[in-house]
């Protein structure tokens, strides 16, 4: 629970850099960090979800996070990585790979042997990352982010 504020700030910062040019600036600029803090408090209290954080020991702050658990949808996959975000300045240092490997180890330990991750279709950096992690692109679905129409793409792992 103590990490909720740090995760919310990393979440907001990573959204603003990762989705700039994909989502309208107005959507990114009006993110409410206080609402994200409250949301993260609820997530951290849920024992069915694993939440990992990447902590910068030099600056003493959270620079990334990942959370996962049972699949929320009707995708046919047992597990889902709900979010994995890293602040821009902390990318390309292996943090995403490390979190992904730790979360998939945990999912296997929970007997959740197949995985889905939803990504915005236009997020080419994330798509390359999931492909490098062994995921394959599967179905697409229309969705919205703060009222803005987007397309989400499922990356799947049939066997963890």
Q: Please report the domains of the chain, with CATH numbers, ordered by start residue.
A: 4-112 (3.40.630.30)
Task: Name the residue among 10, 15, 53, 7 with its Cα closest to residue 31.
Answer: 15
Instruction: Report, as an integer, the average pLDDT of 50-71.
Output: 95
**What are 15's two structure tokens?**
């959204």
Model confidence pLDDT, tens digit, residues 97-143: 999 999 999 999 999 999 999 999 999 999 999 999 999 999 999 99
Q: How confident is the model at residue 75 (pLDDT cuts 50, 70, 90)?
A: confident
31, 19 Cβ separation under 8 angstroms? no
pLDDT confidence of residue 1: 64
């Amino acid at each position: 629970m103590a990490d909720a504020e740090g995760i919310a700030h990393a979440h907001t910062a990573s959204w603003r850099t990762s989705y700039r040019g994909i989502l309208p600036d107005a959507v990114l600029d009006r993110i409410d960090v206080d609402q994200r803090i409250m949301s993260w408090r609820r997530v951290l209290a849920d024992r069915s979800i694993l939440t990992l954080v990447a902590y910068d020991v030099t600056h003493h702050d959270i620079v990334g996070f990942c959370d996962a658990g049972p699949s929320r949808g009707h995708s046919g996959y047992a597990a889902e990585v709900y979010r994995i975000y890293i602040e821009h300045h902390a990318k390309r240092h292996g943090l995403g790979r490390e979190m992904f490997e730790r979360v998939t180890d945990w999912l296997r330990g929970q007997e959740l042997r197949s995985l889905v991750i939803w990504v915005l279709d236009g997020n080419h950096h994330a798509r390359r990352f999931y492909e490098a992690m062994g995921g394959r692109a599967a179905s697409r679905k229309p969705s919205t982010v703060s009222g803005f129409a987007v397309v989400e793409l499922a990356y799947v792992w049939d066997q963890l």
